[in-house]
């Protein structure tokens, strides 16, 4: 970690030619076997044991592991590595707790390892060594364990505990990095907007809001206006005008907030894409990582859709921006 930025940017420039780019759209155009062949010919998932199209996750997994190795080796700072990897620790701790208390299958819920191995998380949780996980994660595990031990506790409450703790941790680690702070602040705001539109109870929503965003509680209160048309335009004077409208339209139609969630998940990629000709310092590194992650998610979406027999036009609508 912490290699010379100029050297790292040179490595990125050499690796960018291996991004799928326009080949992604070609994957949507034929049969699933054709898409699988294109990936293999492109060197995607090199080294993975995959015998056919149904093994597409093996290729994606190989790419994701290679990217994680790249992050660990080339992250310009501790803050960059934490921003990219630490959220998985909070997710995996939550999954392990739910598995223990609700007798669920942890394997189906676990994300790839972050900065703490799954085996260490399991050991610390089993032995009650929460403080060894760091303040924010340790406190979240302790709080969630208490919730899960009580009768009537909901999975949503547990999720809130971990989400709030993850944001608190990242804001602390990234407080000296202006770009990461800006990304975090926007993600916090979008998280709170989504929470507001998912909830019919303002008091419950307030308990679930994460800290660090720029929107005030007074601004978020307007999202609970009984007139959804007014709620849709409550944030017109903020950077979230379109995001807010999309949430309100979905709620009005009784649809899930899928489109808004897609925008939130693409935020970092879009942020750097808009500035790609003026990126400096750690920004080319971050942009490359987010593009690679978006690429992996798009490959996954394409294969799921192809195996479900969906048409090319419908598949392309579901893809995330690169």
CA angle 168, 250, 216 (to 5 degrees): 35
Domain at 304, CATH number: 1.10.132.50
pLDDT digit of tens for each residue in the chain (322 aa)? Answer: 666 778 888 999 999 999 999 999 999 999 999 999 999 999 999 888 888 999 999 999 999 999 999 999 999 999 999 999 999 999 999 999 988 888 888 888 999 999 999 999 999 999 999 999 999 999 999 999 999 888 666 778 999 999 999 999 999 999 999 999 999 999 999 999 999 999 999 999 999 999 999 999 999 999 999 999 999 999 999 999 999 999 999 999 999 999 999 999 999 999 999 988 888 888 999 999 999 999 999 999 999 999 999 999 999 989 987 6
What's the rounded Cα separation, in Å, for the pair 105 and 123?
17
Q: What is the pLDDT of residues 207-219, one digit of tens each?
A: 999 999 999 999 9
The count of domains in the chain is: 2
How many residues does this entry show for the chain?
Answer: 322
Please, which residues have CB within 8 angstroms of residue 194's CB and are 6 or more apart in sequence?
247, 257, 260, 261, 264
Please, which residues have CB within 8 angstroms of residue 273's CB and are 6 or more apart in sequence?
287, 321, 322
Which pLDDT score, from 0 to 100, does residue 322 have?
67
* Same domain membership, residue 127 and residue 56: no
Q: Whole domain around residue 50: which residue ranges?
A: 1-76+283-322
pTM of the model: 0.92
* Same domain membership, residue 84 and residue 62: no
Task: Return the exposure string of 47-70: e unless at least 16 CB atoms fall within 10 Å of the residue's CB, then b.
Answer: ebebeebebbbebbbbbbebbbeb
Q: Residue 105 to residues 3, 42, 73, 93, 268: CA-CA distances in angstroms? A: 39, 35, 32, 13, 31
Helix, strand or coil for residue 107? helix
What's the rounded Cα separation, in Å, for the pair 281 and 120?
33
Structural domain ending residue among the three candidates 158, 176, 194:
176
Any domain includes 98: yes
* Same domain membership, residue 134 and residue 71: no
């Amino acid at each position: 970690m912490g290699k010379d930025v100029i050297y790292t940017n040179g490595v990125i420039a050499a690796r960018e030619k291996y991004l799928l780019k326009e080949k992604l759209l070609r994957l949507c155009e034929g049969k699933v076997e054709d898409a699988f062949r294109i990936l293999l010919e492109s060197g995607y998932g090199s080294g993975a044991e995959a015998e056919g199209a149904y093994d597409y996750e093996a290729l994606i997994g190989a790419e994701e592991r290679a990217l994680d190795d790249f992050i660990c080796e080339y992250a310009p700072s501790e803050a960059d590595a934490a921003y990219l990897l630490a959220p998985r620790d909070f997710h995996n701790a939550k999954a392990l707790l739910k598995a223990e208390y609700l007798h669920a299958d942890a394997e189906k819920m676990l994300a790839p390892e972050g900065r703490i191995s799954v085996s260490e998380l399991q050991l610390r949780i089993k032995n009650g060594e929460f403080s060894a996980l760091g303040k924010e994660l340790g406190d979240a595990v302790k709080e969630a364990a208490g919730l899960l031990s009580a009768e009537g506790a909901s999975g949503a409450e547990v999720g809130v505990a971990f989400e709030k703790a993850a944001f608190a941790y990242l804001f602390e680690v990234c407080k000296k990095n202006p770009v990461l702070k800006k990304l975090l602040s926007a993600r916090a705001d979008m998280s709170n907007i989504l929470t507001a539109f998912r909830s019919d109870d303002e008091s419950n929503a307030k308990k679930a809001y994460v800290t660090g965003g720029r929107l005030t509680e007074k601004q978020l209160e307007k999202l609970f206006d009984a007139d959804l048309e007014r709620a849709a335009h409550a944030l017109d004077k903020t950077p979230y005008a379109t995001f807010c409208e999309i949430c309100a339209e979905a709620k009005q139609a009784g649809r899930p907030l899928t489109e808004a969630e897609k925008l939130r998940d693409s935020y970092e990629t879009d942020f750097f894409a808009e500035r790609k000709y003026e990126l400096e310092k750690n920004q080319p590194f971050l942009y490359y990582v987010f593009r690679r992650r978006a690429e992996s998610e798009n490959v996954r979406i394409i294969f799921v859709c192809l195996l479900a027999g969906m048409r090319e036009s419908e598949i392309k609508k579901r893809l995330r921006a690169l």
